[in-house]
């Protein structure tokens, strides 16, 4: 579903001079929230979010890809940006990340450490002097850990 939404929304976001960073759908009972994260080289401001929100809202009203009621939120990825696509990991090699897996690995689903790289479709994480490889499809969520 997120891939279909991305393909629908990406051209609109790019036409407004922004990059579609990622999409997150949160279901809360009958009502859900569609979060769209946008980015740009010069950064994102409130006006960018408002412009993208208006255009994407109009598009979603016409295309109607989401069933039921939902709230649309548009924002920048922030300092603790979530990594959605494999190619995004490569841009942040050397940074600290938190990873949550879909299934436990060695008894845990949560890991944090330095992102060492991407090898094929696996993420290399350095945790306490040990490199661990995680298949990208096993990662439920990954976020950068902001440095102070």
Q: What is the pTM of this model?
A: 0.86
CATH number of domain containing 57: 3.30.300.70
**Res 125: pLDDT:** 97
**Mean pLDDT for each 10-residue chunk of the chain (148 residues)?**
84 96 86 92 94 93 81 94 95 96 95 96 95 96 90
**Res 133: pLDDT:** 96
Is there a single domain that holds both residue 65 and residue 114? no
The number of helices, as runs of H, and strands, as runs of E, in the chain is 3, 8
Specify the number of domains making up the chain: 2
**Res 67: pLDDT:** 76
- Whole-angstrom Cα distance, residue 56 to residue 33? 14
Please check whether residue 80 lies inside any domain of the structure: no
Secondary structure in 3-state letters for 59-101: HHHHHCCCCCEEEEEEECCCCCCECCCHHHHHCCCCCEEEEEE
Is there a single domain that holds both residue 71 and residue 45? yes
What are 74's two structure tokens? 């548009």
For 101, the domain range is: 86-144
Which three-class secondary structure state does DSSP give residue 49? helix
Q: For 88, list phi and psi in degrees, rounded to 5.
A: -70, -30
**Res 148: pLDDT:** 65
**Res 4: pLDDT:** 85
Is there a single domain that holds both residue 71 and residue 26? yes
Show which of 26, 48, 75 is a domain's final residue. Answer: 75
CATH number of domain containing 95: 2.30.30.100
H-helix segments, the chain: 2-15, 46-63, 86-90
């Amino acid at each position: 579903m997120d891939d279909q939404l991305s393909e629908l929304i990406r051209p609109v976001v790019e036409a407004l001079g922004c990059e579609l960073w990622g999409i997150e759908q949160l279901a809360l009972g009958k009502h859900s929230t569609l979060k769209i994260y946008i980015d740009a080289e010069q950064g994102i401001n409130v006006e960018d979010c408002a412009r993208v929100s208006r255009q994407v809202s109009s598009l979603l009203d016409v295309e109607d890809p989401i069933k039921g009621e939902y709230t649309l939120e548009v924002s920048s990825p922030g300092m603790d940006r979530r990594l959605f696509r494999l190619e995004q990991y490569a841009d942040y090699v050397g940074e600290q990340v938190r990873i949550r897996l879909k299934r436990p690995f060695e008894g845990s689903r949560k890991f944090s450490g330095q992102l060492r790289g991407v090898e094929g479709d696996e993420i290399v994480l350095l945790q306490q002097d040990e490199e661990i490889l995680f298949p990208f499809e096993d990662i439920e969520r990954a976020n950068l850990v902001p440095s102070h």
